[in-house]
Amino acid sequence: MSGVAVSPLDRLERFFLRVVTHPTGVDEGVRAATAEGLLPHGARRLEDVIPGNDRLSALEQLHIYGFAYFDRIVEVLAGEMPAVQHLLGERVFAEAMKRYLAEHPSSTWTLDRVGAAAPQWLAEQGEEDGTLWRVAADVAAVQQAMDAVWNEPFEDPVPYARLAAVPMEEWAGARVQLIPAVRLLALSYPVTEVMNAARDQGEVVLPAAAPSWMCVYRDDTARWRFALDRPQFVLLSALARGNSLADALAEVLELADVQPAQLLGDLGGWFERWFGNGLVSAVHITPEGAPPPAP
């Protein structure tokens, strides 16, 4: 917490929040807040601030708020990252998220941002073999992407015919505009099977580390994910940045293991699938080398 309390009300609120959000519980919170000089003016002990009653002591009353603080936010994080909870198990997940919350307390009005740093934080856990935690980090990143696309605005998708109708001579300069409700993820583990197992409440087998790529998107009513290979990821990412088809394909061809003939053979099928999924909201035809159209 920042600043210095300036009024009795301010001091009381700072004392209260310090106590009920203390990571090891309100008992330690009272000791910490007292040692830090947060006890309201004129008070020498907790009961001078919160008298309690004949059924519950002041500490027991504070426990209600202390329990609710962690319980509520861990519940929110579990709702945001259910596959991470399944992977780690309820108890480990709850303990981990309490530690996370102690290091990343919320400073905004929305609970949607409380878990923003969780993927990075999870990746840093686990001292010797951190595989479980690094997989959890990737799963968390996918689930946060699924939350993000849920809240993106709608744009009507266009059919593959729109791209197919582009004249050959203008094809290289065409730009394919993705809908806002799409995220492209580069991961350290192939987590599709982990997420499927979590969705089906099945047993999780930890995958070996391997660079992996995924597309997450939302259509009219539901969220979806599918794995990409590296050329697909590079191509879609380049298109998402507003590059022309020619420039995007040039990026793909810079990859060591991509052969031009193979790429050209695959391309039609890729685009057919992506358009079919509703990932594309416009095809802009501009001269090659011209800047992309304003959004």
Partner 1 sequence: MNRFGLPDLGLGVGLRVPHFSRVLEGPTRVDWFEVISENFMATEGRPMRVLEQVRRDYPVVLHGVSMSIGSTDPLDMDYLAALRRLADRIDVAWMGDHVCWTGVAGRNGHDLYPVPYTEESLAHVVERIKVVQGVLGRPLVLENPSTYLGFASDCMSEVEWIARMADESDCALLLDVNNVYVTCRNHGLDPMQYLRDVPWDRVVQNHLAGHTDHGTHCIDTHDDHVCDAVWELYGWVQKHTGGIATLLEWDGNIPDFDVLEDEVARCREWR
CB of 178 to partner 1, least distance (A): 15
Q: Residue 109 interacts with partner 1 (CB under 8 A)?
A: yes
Nearest to partner 1 of 215, 235 (CB atom) = 215
- Name which of 281, 8, 250 is nearest 159 in CA terms: 281
Alpha helix segments (H runs only) across 168-225 = 168-171, 192-199
Any idea what DSSP says for residue 45?
Answer: S
Q: Under a CB-based contact definition with an 8 Å cutoff, are residues 16 and 34 in contact?
A: no
CB of 138 to partner 1, least distance (A): 24
Where does this chain touch partner 1 (CB under 8 A) — which range of 10-18, 26-34, 257-265, 282-290? Answer: 10-18
Any idea what DSSP says for residue 64?
Answer: H
Burial class for 288, CB neighbours closer than 10 Å (0-12, 13-18, 19+): middle
> Rounded to 10 degrees, what is the CA torsion of 279, 282, 286, 290?
-60
Where does this chain touch partner 1 (CB under 8 A) — which range of 109-117, 137-145, 159-167, 194-202? Answer: 109-117
Q: Residue 72 interacts with partner 1 (CB under 8 A)?
A: yes
User: Distance between the two ends of the chain, CA-based, in angstroms?
Assistant: 41
Pull the structure tokens for residue 63.
């426990």
C-alpha 230, offset from chain centre:
21
Q: Residue 111 interacts with partner 1 (CB under 8 A)?
A: yes
Instruction: Please tell me whether residue 89 adopts helix, strand or coil conformation.
Output: coil
Instruction: Please tell me whether residue 287 adopts helix, strand or coil conformation.
Output: coil
Q: Residue 259 interacts with partner 1 (CB under 8 A)?
A: no
Q: Residue 69 interacts with partner 1 (CB under 8 A)?
A: yes
Q: Residue 10 interacts with partner 1 (CB under 8 A)?
A: yes
Nearest to partner 1 of 83, 149 (CB atom) = 149
Nearest to partner 1 of 56, 253 (CB atom) = 56
Q: Residue 151 interacts with partner 1 (CB under 8 A)?
A: yes
Site for partner 1 in 44-63 (CB under 8 A): 47-56, 58, 61-62
Pull the structure tokens for residue 162.
């729109």
Q: How many residues bind partner 1 (CB under 8 A)?
A: 55
CB of 264 to partner 1, least distance (A): 36
Residue 190-219 contact track with partner 1, rule CB under 8 A, x = bound:
----------------------------x-
CB of 83 to partner 1, least distance (A): 18
Residues 6 or more apart from 81 whose CB is under 8 A from it?
Answer: 115, 118, 139, 140, 143, 144
- Name which of 239, 142, 262, 263 is nearest 194 in CA terms: 142
Interaction site with partner 1 (CB under 8 A):
1-3, 6-10, 12-14, 16-17, 20-21, 40, 43, 47-56, 58, 61-62, 64-65, 68-69, 72-73, 76, 105-112, 114, 149-154, 181, 218, 221
